[in-house]
Every structure is written in C-alpha cells, then in structure tokens.
Amino acid sequence: MRSVRAKAAIGATLVVAIALITTGLGLLLVLRQSLEGKINLQAEIAAREVASQFALDTPPDQLDLPGGEDRPIQVVAPKAQVIAVSPGLQSISGTSTGKTAPTPLPSPSAEKDDTSDQGQQPDQENDADNDQDTDQDNEPDQPEPDTELDDPDDDPARGQVSSREEFSDGTANVDGDSASYRFAAVEATNRAGTTVTVYAGAPRATEQDTVESVRDAMLIGLPALLLVVGSVTWLVTRHALKPVEGIRGEMAAITASEDLSRRVPEPDSRDEIARLARTTNETLAALEASVERQRRFVADASHELRSPIASLRTQLEVGQAHPELLDVPGAVADTVRLQQLAADLLLLARLDAGERPGQARLDLGALVREEASQRANDRIPVTVDAAVGLEVTGSRSQLVRVLGNLLDNAQRHADSSVTAVVREDGGDIVLTVEDDGDGVPEDERERIFERFVRLDDARSRDDGGAGLGLAIARDVAARHGGTLTVGVGERGGALFELRLPG
C-alpha cells in the first residue's frame, strides 16, 4: 500500500468502524437493559395487584386475573398447589411449577370440623391417648413434615404483601400461542395465615423485536456508512494532496532540466502543504545561490590562477631562450603568490565542506603579539594592546590566518599606523584591527567580505591580492561561533572587529 490516499481512507474507515461497532454494542446493551427494566416493572405491577387482592382475603376463585396473551398469571400455594391461573393459560415454564389446573384451598371451617371430630372419642380412647402422650413426652421430639414454604420466617405478615420480588425468564402457552415472558414472583399472606406466591408475566416480544430491529438497522447501515466514510476520505485526501503532486511534478522537471531558477507552485492555503511549498522554494533559492556562488568561485579562481601561471610561464620561456634575461625574483614571487592562492582556495573548500575547528584553548593576546613580532619589516609597524589570559577555543592555524589577513588588509590601506587591541567584552573576547586609511564606504561594508571582491580597481593585482582574505576571515569567525564586522575607527580609517566566545 504505497498510496497516501489509500492509507488515509483505510485508516479513517477502520477508526470509524471501531467507533461505530463499540457505540452500537453499547447502545444495544443500554436499550436491552432499559426495555428489560420496563418489562420487569410491568410484571411486578401485575403480580402485586393480584397479591394485594389475596392479602385482603379475596378467595382464589374471585381474584381479578386479567390474563390474556400478554400477561399470564399463576398463583401457587405451599407444596406447589396451583390455586388460580389467568384465563386461557394452557402451559407455563419458568415458575415453581408447570401446573395450570387450579385446585381450591381447604376452607378454615373444614379444618376446624376435622379437629372437632377427632376430639369426640370415647373416654377410654382419651385415657389411652393420654397415657400414650405421657409416654411420648419422655421421647425425643420428631420433626414434623413441612406444610409451609421452605423459609417461613421470610413470609410476609398476615394481610400483607412482601416487599421483595424475584424475576425469571420462561415461556407460556395462552390460547394456543406460545411466547417468551419475564415473570415477577411476589409473596402475599392473607389474614388466615396462608402464604401464596403470585407469578405474573410480561411478554418479551417487544424487547426482542426492538433490539433485533435496531441490530438489523445497524448491520445494514454500518457497511453503507463505512463506504461513505471511505469514499469521502479518498476524495478529500485526493483534493488535499493535489498540490503535493504539483510540487512533485515540478521538482521532477527541475531535476531533469537542472534549471534551479524554476519554483514549485505555492497554494493559496495556509496549511502544511503551503508551508512545504514555501520551504521547498526557499531551499531551491538557497541551492541556486550556492550553485551560482560555486560557479562564480570556480570562474574567479580560474581567472586568478591564470595570471600568475601565465606570468611564470612567460618568464620561464624567456629564461629558456635567453638565460641572461631570466627574472628569477619575479618568478619566485609569482610562484609564492600561486602557492598562497592555492592554499586560500583549499581552506575555503574545507570551510564550505563543514570542517569543524579544533577545541584547543588559545591565548588570543599571545597570538596577536606573536604575529606582530613577525612583521617587524612591514611598511607600517603594528601597535599591539593585548591583555593577558584572554583565551578562546578554536584552531590555532585558522585563527592565525584570520589575524594575518586582517593585518595584511590594514597594512595595504593604512597611511601611517596600524593598531591591534585584544579586550574582553561581556564574556566575549574581542580583537580590533584599526588603520588610518580612507576607510570602507558604508554601502560596501558587507560586499568586501564576498569572495574575489576588491574595491580599489585601480590597484594592481600584486598589491591588492586576490580578494579572498576577508572572505576567509569571516568564514573562519563563523565556524568558531563568532562574528567579523567592519566599521569606522577613531582616526577615520577602517575598524575590523572580531568577536569570539570566551
């Protein structure tokens, strides 16, 4: 998958799919719980209505059991005796018993009659029974069979309905139609002390139909929605990446034509793609300037090398034909100049390649005094005012080259004096080289640091150099984390200031 559009469309579709599936499952769960709570409430209300009637001593055969297909009701007495069912109930499951044929409860008067008949026995029997009872009193008590619910202590009080309810799932057949139901079980005790459990069911068809409808709608709508999301993401991404394709095409054309003056189209938007286009154009501009500077450098270097080489060749050819006319000092001077120019070009090439300076600690004041002592035979002596112990970090050879270039430039333009001062300023070590010449015009103070630039066109090349000294000095200063600028000195001449971190 190499297309950004395809990746974006598939990624967005997957994210939306996960979100929709998670949300849908949560929605179904909440909907199911809500509907189940509503069904529980319906079943509980129906069960409590019937339980309240029984608690008020309504006979089982006179209980108001609305019944019907939507609400089967079953009243169960102890020992699973069904005493009442709703009309049309043919079968039931999910309750304590599956019986649907009601049987009447024994009346309290019948129970009393049975007790009275048993009490009218002959006296002999009574005496025998008394003797037998006396004998039984001496025996351990035997457990009686259960006649009530398993836990009579939990039964509601006489004439009341239990505050507790239980729910269960089951089925019921009402008038030949079977369906699923949610049953609520509520206990009630009449004033005679009989406790029954009322089971009332509420149909689950509505819950099931609603959940299934929502589920089916989600299953049908989810693929369609994902298709829409994927398509829209594809189209939007395609539209958003259209400028990128334009940038890519233009860059390919620039690479093929090698015309660095061309620029990529910049969209009117202010988004990342517009910033990318602007950055690309800035990179192309910097690359064009670098290539142009490199071409100009090669052309200027070739031109500067041509003069000493041609002069040296002429002198050697003359010396070969007429030895007595050979200018040996001139040939040596041209050779030295050629050697210096080659060394300057090599240093510039290393600086352009990103060569890092050394990390030695150097006393800048000592370097200035040492360099000035080697210039005792110069046209104008160098006056040095350098404090002791002002150290900088860098390459000794490169810093000596900078100092030599600055002093050479000052010697070339000074009338009578050259001054070098080393001082500390705000944590920086500052070297200033001042002369009393004509100075540098304000509009030319940046141009003199360009390569092969000389302001005095009337000056001969031998006296004026190749125009690389100041360019090398500024590049070295920048590599050492410092700056090199030019201004006006107190005597009106040029004042070069080299500032390096201490």
Residue 470: pLDDT over 90: no
pLDDT of residue 152: 53
Looking at the structure, tell me whether residues 328 and 462 fall in a common domain. Answer: no
Q: Per the domain annotation, does 57 fall within a domain?
A: yes
CATH number of the domain to which 316 belongs = 1.10.287.130
**Domain assignment of residue 326, yes or no:** yes
Output the pLDDT for position 284.
87
Rounded Cα distance, 257 and 65, in Å: 96
Q: Tell me the one-letter amino acid at 12.
A: A
Residue pair 449/470 in contact by the 8 Å Cβ criterion: yes
Q: Is residue 304 part of a domain?
A: yes
pTM, two decimals, is 0.47
- On whether both 397 and 458 belong to a single domain, the answer is yes
Statement: residue 136 has pLDDT above 50 = no
Domain assignment of residue 48, yes or no = yes
pLDDT value, residue 447: 86
Q: Does some domain include residue 123?
A: no
In this structure, are 366 and 479 located in the same domain?
A: yes
pLDDT at 455: 67
**End position of a domain, from candidates 196, 220, 254:** 254
Name which of 167-171, 218-222, 373-377, 398-402 the model is least confident about.
Answer: 373-377
Highest mean pLDDT among 146-160, 182-196, 359-373, 431-445: 182-196
Q: How far apart are CA 228 and CA 2, in angstroms?
A: 22
- Claim to verify: residue 248 and residue 210 sit in the same structural domain: yes
Q: Could you read off the pLDDT of 5-59 as tens digits, one per residue?
A: 788 888 888 888 898 889 888 988 998 888 889 999 989 999 999 999 999 989 9
Q: Which residues pair with 432 in a beta bridge?
A: 421, 497
Alpha-carbon span 500 to 492, nearest angstrom:
25
The single-letter DSSP state of residue 158 is T
Within a domain: residue 469?
yes
> What are the phi and psi torsion angles at 2 (to 5°)?
-100, -10
Q: How many domains does the chain have?
A: 3
Q: Which residue has the higher pLDDT, 115 or 414?
A: 414
Phi and psi (nearest 5°) for 387? -70, 160
Whole-number Å distance between alpha carbons of 283 and 262? 12
Q: Do 327 and 433 reside in the same domain of the chain?
A: no
Tokens of 315: 């002198």
- Clarify whether residues 432 and 382 are in a common domain: yes
SS3 430: strand
- Helix/strand number for the chain, H first, E second: 10, 14
* Domain end point (choices 231, 254, 277): 254
Q: What is the pLDDT of residues 260-302, one digit of tens each?
A: 888 888 888 777 888 888 898 889 888 888 788 778 777 777 7
Residue of 194, 153, 155 lying closest to 59 (CA atoms): 194
Cα distances (angstroms) measured from residue 217 to each of 221, 222, 322, 323: 6, 8, 110, 110
Residue 116 lies in a domain: no
| Residue ending a domain, choose from 336, 355, 374 | 355
* 184-198 pLDDT tens trace: 999 999 998 899 999
Contacts 24+ apart (CB under 8 A), 422-425: 422/364, 422/365, 422/368, 422/385, 422/386, 422/387, 422/390, 423/387, 423/390, 424/387, 424/390, 424/502, 425/499
Within this chain, do residues 348 and 413 fall inside the same structural domain, yes or no?
no
467 to 103, 212, 472, 496: CA distances (angstroms): 126, 89, 10, 16
Are 297 and 157 in the same domain?
no
One domain for residues 37 and 156: yes
Judge if 176 and 286 occupy the same domain: no
- Contact between 500 and 362 under an 8 Å Cβ cutoff? The reply is no
* CATH number for the domain harbouring residue 446: 3.30.565.10
- Whether residue 124 lies inside any domain: the answer is no
Give pLDDT, residue 199.
95
Give me the torsion for CA of 301, 302, 304, 309, rounded to 10°.
Answer: 130
Could you list the residue range(s) of the whole structural domain that residue 222 is in? 1-106+147-254
| Same domain assignment for residues 416 and 449 | yes
pLDDT of residue 1: 52
3-state secondary structure of 410: helix
Shared-domain flag, residues 241 and 320: no
